[in-house]
């Protein structure tokens, strides 16, 4: 029997990688023949977490064959999924995003919760099924929650995420604050990336009222560090705008210590960002005080103002 493939979104973040591995463990406990995969390279934050808990990266897949059975975690939009997803058989989805650009021809298992992290939903699924959570799986869950909630400081954080993180830190036998900050800092080491790579580390491709848009995000401990190469970043952004026919490209450079973001915004529809965030772009950039969450503080206001 061919294995059911489990994967998160393109340009995988820590939640997408960990949730695939966690779901693999959960499904195996249920007796399914599954394989965790990924749709792109892991970032340095994820690399740090996997190394810390001594877990191998999932394998990378690209195209799906027609009829391939799959389980999606941490995404549902086909635009963010594997190539060929339209022809795959989607058995399950576990996600914490809005539902959009997704459809099936048959009933399926779908669980979404407006929690800060997919791993928090998976944590619930272990409890409901009375499955034991190993210290390794707890470490992966915890890493995903820390990543998606910026150590429980993002406005996407719910009490569910907080409670899960505290319980999981105990099972994984780590200090939540200390491990969390070390993991987030590992992700801010951008030194080895070209501007092009930096833009694809965590990039969401979305259509906002027919406008082809990318919203990319990088975490840093010092916004100025990234802004030093602003002109190189802009060149790379413009290349992508031209090659992909984008209307809007926003890069959010997020300060994980002080919880603010600097955006660089390019494309013919960049006026939408000015309206949405009530700022004036100067030299294509603006400072967004208190903004750290793409899902909660960037995407909805863009949709509202498009």
Q: State the residues that interact with its own copies by CB under 8 A.
A: 96-114, 128, 295, 300, 303-304
Residue 211 Cβ, how far from its own copies at the closest point, in Å? Answer: 14
Residue 139 Cβ, how far from its own copies at the closest point, in Å? Answer: 25
Residue 95 vs 255, nearer CB to its own copies = 95
- CB 33: neighbour CB atoms within 10 A? 11
Residue 55 vs 111, nearer CB to its own copies = 111
- Cα–Cα nearest to 295, from 158, 173, 169: 158
Per-residue three-class SS string for the chain = CCCEEEECCCCCCHHHHHHHHHHHHHHHHCCCCEEEEECCCCCHHHHHHHHHCCCCCCEECCECCCCCEEEEECCCCHHHCCECHHHCEEEEEEECCCCCCCCCCCCCEEEECCCCCHHHHHHHHHHHCCCCCCHHHHHHHHHHHHHHHCCCCCCCCCHHHHHHHHHHHHHHCCCHHHHHHHHHHHHCCCCCCCHHHHHHCCEEEEEECCEEEEEEEEEECCHHHHHCCHHHHHHHHHHHHHHHCCCEEEEEEEECCCCEEEEEEECCCCHHHHHHHCCCCECCEEEECCCCCHHHHHHHHHHHHC
Q: Which residue has the tokens 């390279």?
A: 41
Residue 113 Cβ, how far from its own copies at the closest point, in Å? Answer: 6
Residue 257 Cβ, how far from its own copies at the closest point, in Å? Answer: 26
Residue 44 vs 75, nearer CB to its own copies = 75
Residue 64 vs 206, nearer CB to its own copies = 206
Q: Please return the burial class of 107, using the count of CB atoms within 10 Å of its CB with bins 0-12, 13-18 and 19+.
A: exposed
Residue 221 vs 301, nearer CB to its own copies = 301
Residue 30 vs 100, nearer CB to its own copies = 100
Residue 111 Cβ, how far from its own copies at the closest point, in Å? Answer: 6
Residue 59 vs 100, nearer CB to its own copies = 100
- Cα–Cα nearest to 299, from 218, 223, 207, 230: 207
Residue 226 vs 302, nearer CB to its own copies = 302
Residue 93 Cβ, how far from its own copies at the closest point, in Å? Answer: 8
Residue 119 Cβ, how far from its own copies at the closest point, in Å? Answer: 15
Residue 216 Cβ, how far from its own copies at the closest point, in Å? Answer: 20
């Amino acid at each position: 029997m061919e294995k059911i493939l489990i994967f998160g979104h393109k340009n995988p973040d820590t939640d997408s990688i960990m949730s695939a591995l966690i779901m693999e463990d959960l499904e195996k406990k249920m007796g399914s023949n599954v394989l965790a995969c990924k749709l792109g390279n892991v970032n340095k934050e994820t690399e740090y977490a996997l190394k810390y808990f001594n877990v191998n990266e999932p394998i990378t897949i690209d195209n799906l064959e027609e009829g391939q059975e799959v389980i999606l975690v941490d995404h549902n939009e086909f635009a963010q999924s594997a190539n060929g997803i339209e022809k795959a058989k989607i058995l399950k989805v576990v996600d914490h995003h809005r539902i959009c650009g997704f459809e099936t021809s048959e009933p399926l298992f779908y669980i979404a919760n407006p929690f800060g992290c997919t791993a928090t939903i998976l944590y619930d699924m272990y409890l409901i099924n009375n499955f034991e959570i190993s210290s390794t799986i707890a470490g992966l869950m915890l890493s995903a929650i820390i990543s998606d909630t910026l150590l429980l400081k993002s406005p996407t954080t719910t009490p569910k995420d907080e409670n899960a993180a505290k319980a999981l830190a105990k099972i994984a036998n780590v200090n939540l604050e200390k491990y969390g900050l070390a993991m987030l800092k590992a992700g801010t080491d951008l030194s080895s990336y070209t501007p092009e790579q930096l833009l694809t580390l965590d990039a969401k491709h979305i259509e906002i009222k027919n406008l082809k848009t990318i919203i990319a995000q990088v975490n840093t401990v010092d916004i100025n560090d990234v802004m030093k190469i602003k002109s190189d970043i802009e060149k790379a952004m413009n290349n992508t705008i031209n090659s992909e026919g984008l209307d809007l490209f926003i890069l959010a450079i997020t300060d994980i210590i002080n919880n603010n973001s600097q955006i660089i915004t390019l494309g013919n529809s960049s006026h939408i960002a000015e309206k949405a965030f009530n700022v004036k772009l100067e030299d294509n950039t603006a400072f967004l005080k208190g903004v750290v969450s793409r899902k909660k503080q960037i995407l909805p206001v863009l949709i509202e103002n498009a």
